[in-house]
Structure 1
Amino acid sequence: MKRILVYGMTDNFGGMEAYIHNIYQHLDKTKIQFDFVCDFPKMTLSDYYLENGCKIYFIPPKNQGLFNSLWAMWKVIKENNYSVIYFNIMNAGYVLNMLPAFLLRKKIIAHSHNADTDKKNLHYKLRGLLNFVAKVKLACSNAAGLFMFGKKEQYYVINNAINLDKYSYSREKYIQLRHKLGWNDKKIILYVARMNHQKNPFFALDIMKELKLSIPNVVMAYVGTGELKEDIQQYISDNNLDNVVLLGLRNDVNELMIAADIFILPSLFEGLPIVAVEAQAAGLPILLSENISKETKLVNSAHFLPINDISIWVKEVEQILVNSGNNRFSDGLALTKAGYDIKRVANNVQQILVN
């Protein structure tokens, strides 16, 4: 059995963490095992991974001293003799985390999970070094690959696949889950996003401000947490948005997807958001920012809108909610054909990591 050291997990269960978790659950554990190096004080799902035989090493973050962080990374790799380090990254600045592995002559796999960044200067300064250091380059979409590595580099697209069976929609499930959740006759807008600048949360809240006037029984179920949590709570309070419910982190997002009426994601930028794949698997009508890669559209229920005009979003949401439930179904076959079945993708990733 080969043990792979994985970097990229944080203390917040977001899209990258969901990708790693989905892959891990479908690995052949007789051939491969994940261990984790984490530069956060705690790691999401740590109990699950420890129970399944993974090791977790905590190291200081770079902002507490670059040398201390890299020295700790060096010791983890050296003392445990890892031959492959799998870096899941958001911009080229993470190449600094790779330097200990590079100096120890280990195989470095870099996986891009974003198609833009707020740290553009750092990203473009270090992209050349990233391309030199990484032996294997992966990306969640073509847009994420071009952003991370540039046009001249070869990279492989690894789809953000999911367990499609968990998201299969039926009218019976919809009714049962809504009763269980207490949603009943409410019109539910689902918004699953980390509470940070990239996800454009105040735009989503402003949509709810407008909808409060036109659809009295509309509610936004907001799943997620993050650094903007207190600002978001204050904004909701200041604007009397009693039609927004903060659900925090959840382990039943598949059920929320089935029970909701529409999904929105007005992000400023993305790689290929796994929540958008999940929403489409559940047959949800889905509205995405035009800044999100068009590769994200897998079935006809997904639509792209500009984020410079809230009125367009409000109008689209109103139209969808009026017709909600009509002709909704899960097109698992289309998603399988598009390459989003987790079993196949996990097998491909395993081959890359082991070989």
Structure 2
Amino acid sequence: MDRNQFICDFATMSSKLDFEDEILSTGSKIYYISCYAEENQEKFVREFDEILTKGYDVVHIHTKQWKSCLVEKMCKNHQIPKVIVHAHSTGFDNGNPINRKKEEQLHENVKQSFRESLATDFWACSKTAANFLFGKQISENRIKIMPNAIEIEKFAFNPQIRDVYRRKYGLDNYYVIGHVGRFEYQKNHHFLINLFYEILNEIDNAKLILLGDGKLYNEVKLQTQKLKIEEKVLFLGKRDDINNWYQAMDVFCLPSRFEGLPISVIEAQASGLPCICSNSISPEVKIGKNVSLLPLEKKKWIHKICEVSKLERIDNRLELDMAGYNIQTQIKVLEDLYKNCKMRASS
């Protein structure tokens, strides 16, 4: 964003942001809030209230699910000119079914109490995410879909990088199935590992590469050992060269239980990969011709993975650009929306 016009600070309950150094180098601030409101509401209110006294024109709230409307109410009390509630998910990332049901009930209760008067803008990464967070509480014409945009050219297919990575990691003669995602309930790694175990009966030179980390990392690793396929699976952890790893893949798989709009599938399409995803994912993710949305049935996934092994990559860059997934275009859209607030605040 144009730093001559905008100063963007960040408030988070995370212990550390991935791009902390880069953020701080631009002159932005990061406020680390020490607890969630449901853990210690008094402390949370005190810390967030202090942030709101800094005189911000916009508070942009990125939301997965409802636990309360506390932040929105605090922003209203501080008369923040523009309060954006931005929906990013369509489910509950909790592997415990009892706790997941509790989260669902709380979410629905809070959603029913949410009103348009608590914010000025209502955004979502997809229509499915909008319905999940806002339901009938917010008029459809008040909701703006904001695509999860990327640097398209950064992910464009590069045969030289493909050759380097495949040679370096011993993948030259393998059919490489790739996945990018946190090791959490939502991403459904156990399905992917069981699927890959059966794929090896059809494609004996297949390899699976997994990028990401998370609390289920060791559990999934143990699963590959029990199936005696650990030598066929590469656990690559959290990486800053993910764009290059897409080049090394032959197909991208995302069997998520739910998603708002997965950036990984946008990135994979930018690299021209065939993408096979669960049909629980927002259908808006299907931009190019090489995306398949399937039910979580192993036979159908095996058939499709074998089928796409014969396909060439497709250049989807124009389609992604036209659909609004170019970060350079979306930055301008975001700046205009933010500037609209500044004009109203000063009028």
TM-score per shorter chain, which class? 0.7 to 0.9
Alignment partner of 2:24 out of 50, 56, 59:
50
Alignment partner of 2:263 out of 248, 267, 274:
274
Name the structure 2 match of 1:82. 56
CA contact (8 A) 1:174 1:258 kept: yes
Alignment partner of 2:322 out of 322, 331, 337:
337
Name the CA distance, whole Å, in 2 between partners of 1:85 and 1:261. Answer: 41
* 1:120 and 2:104 are equivalent in the alignment: yes
Alignment partner of 2:290 out of 301, 314, 319:
301
Q: Displacement of 1:131 after TM fit? A: 3.5
* 1:210 and 2:194 are equivalent in the alignment: no
Which range moves more in the overlay, 31-40 or 97-106?
Answer: 97-106
Name the structure 1 match of 2:125. 140
Q: Percent identity?
A: 28
* 1:165 and 2:153 are equivalent in the alignment: yes
CA contact (8 A) 1:169 1:329 kept: no
Name the CA distance, whole Å, in 2 between partners of 1:177 and 1:284. Answer: 16
TM-score of the pair, normalised by structure 1: 0.86
Q: Give secondary structure in 2 for the equivalent of 1:185.
A: coil
Name the CA distance, whole Å, in 1 between partners of 2:173 and 2:70. Answer: 51
* 1:195 and 2:183 are equivalent in the alignment: yes
Alignment of 1:194-273 (within 5 A): 194-242=182-230, 243-273=232-262
Name the CA distance, whole Å, in 2 between partners of 1:182 and 1:33. Answer: 45
Moved over 6 A (4+): none
Superposed CA deviations along residues 131-184 of structure 1, whole A, max 9, x for unmatched, are 441211110011111211124422100011111111111444432332244322
Name the CA distance, whole Å, in 1 between partners of 2:28 and 2:90. Answer: 30
Name the CA distance, whole Å, in 2 between partners of 1:54 and 1:170. Answer: 34
Q: Displacement of 1:94 after TM fit? A: 5.5
Name the CA distance, whole Å, in 2 between partners of 1:298 and 1:52. Answer: 33
Name the CA distance, whole Å, in 1 between partners of 2:109 and 2:184. Answer: 24
Residue correspondences, number = 324
In structure 2, relative to structure 1, the CA distance for the partners of 1:245 and 1:327 (3 Å cut) is: closer
Name the CA distance, whole Å, in 2 between partners of 1:61 and 1:192. Answer: 29
In structure 2, relative to structure 1, the CA distance for the partners of 1:131 and 1:226 (3 Å cut) is: farther
Name the CA distance, whole Å, in 2 between partners of 1:229 and 1:176. Answer: 27
Q: Give secondary structure in 1 for the equivalent of 2:9.
A: strand
Superposed CA deviations along residues 4-35 of structure 1, whole A, max 9, x for unmatched, are xxxxxxxxxxxxxxxxxxxxxxx111111211
Name the structure 2 match of 1:16. none
Q: Give secondary structure in 2 for the equivalent of 1:215.
A: coil
CA contact (8 A) 2:272 2:314 kept: yes
Q: Displacement of 1:64 after TM fit? A: 3.3
CA contact (8 A) 1:70 1:99 kept: no
CA contact (8 A) 2:183 2:217 kept: yes
Alignment of 1:57-68 (within 5 A): 57-62=31-36, 63-68=38-43
* 1:34 and 2:34 are equivalent in the alignment: no
TM-score of the pair, normalised by structure 2: 0.88
Superposed CA deviations along residues 267-307 of structure 1, whole A, max 9, x for unmatched, are 11111111111111111000010111111100110001101
Q: Displacement of 1:233 after TM fit? A: 2.4
Name the CA distance, whole Å, in 1 between partners of 2:6 and 2:277. Answer: 36
Name the structure 2 match of 1:327. 312
In structure 2, relative to structure 1, the CA distance for the partners of 1:173 and 1:94 (3 Å cut) is: farther
Name the CA distance, whole Å, in 1 between partners of 2:262 and 2:68. Answer: 20
Q: Give secondary structure in 1 for the equivalent of 2:280.
A: coil
CA contact (8 A) 2:290 2:314 kept: no
In structure 2, relative to structure 1, the CA distance for the partners of 1:233 and 1:319 (3 Å cut) is: same
